[in-house]
Amino acid sequence: MMPQIQLSVTRPGSSPCLDTVAEEVPVAFEYNGIAHTVMLATPADLKDFALGFSLSEGIVARRSEVFDIVIEEAPEGITLQLEIAGGAFAQLKERRRSLAGRTGCGLCGAESLAQVMRDLQPVAERSRFPLDALYEGMRLLPTQQTLQQTTGAVHAAGHVAADGSISYVREDIGRHNALDKTLGARAVADAKADGALLITSRASFEMVQKAAALGYGILAAVSAPTAAAVRLADKLNLTLVGFLRGSGCAIYTHEQRLLRTTT
């Protein structure tokens, strides 16, 4: 299934023409044959999505607990069939929940406050990260947003290194999905939780939670954070940056992790 299609569109004052539109399809997650949740997502980088979601939601603790991922397409949508370790599956059944997957809410369907407020360890301190690298990473990010360039309808997430280079850029109509895809792609590559994560959206509570769950210490967003995101980032020792645009930003938590070199 392609992540985009072409449709006829009419604009005032011009003849009908073709327009490229992003796909949005139901993507169902099954663990060891048992249905878990359905998310609306862009049908691209689905194995990255499956692994990233499983890790960031705490369904598995490490990549090695996912034995296989099978993608099954059907007229009504896509099913991601994951085979996971017995211990992880037993824990999943213990805290089983039904998420109503939506592009705008990452916590819909949680059945208790305990499921929302996961018990995560604070992120470990690492060497200081150049603030200039964040600026350069966000400057370069649009050059790799190929689906956004053609449709104008998707979010992106990516990883930026200390030299400002970006990699593992993934796109999706859902901002949480895009971040999960990036996290999954880095997990597939056995990449360390270093550098920083960039997102082309607001920084909400669950975005902070996903980043911290995999040990990343810096999350930088092009838009604003929520108050809940700031409180959680502070608690989890995560550096949260918002309004990252051009050569400006707002640093909300743990500023000590960033090395300022710009005058």
Question: What are the structural domains of the chain?
Answer: 25-116 (3.10.20.10), 129-259 (3.40.140.10)
Distance CA 150, CA 132 (A): 29
160 has which bridge partners?
166, 196
Q: What is the pTM of this model?
A: 0.92
Find the mean pLDDT for residues 185-214.
Answer: 97
Higher pLDDT: 230 or 105? It is 230
Higher pLDDT: 158 or 99? It is 158
Distance CA 46, CA 27 (A): 9
Catalytic residue among 17, 105, 108, 249: 105
Find the mean pLDDT for residues 208-232.
Answer: 98
pLDDT tens, position by position, 79-110:
999 999 999 999 998 877 544 444 455 554 45
Distance CA 18, CA 262 (A): 45
pLDDT of residue 111: 53
Tell me if 226 sits within 8 A of 205, measured CB to CB.
yes
Task: Respond yes or no: is residue 17 known to be catalytic.
Answer: no
Tell me if 63 sits within 8 A of 47, measured CB to CB.
no
pLDDT tens, position by position, 103-136:
455 554 455 555 566 889 999 998 999 999 999 9
Query: Which residues are within 8 A (CB) of 51 and not within 5 positions of it... i.e. 6 or more apart?
Result: 63, 66, 69, 183, 184, 187, 188
pLDDT tens, position by position, 17-39:
999 999 999 999 999 999 999 99
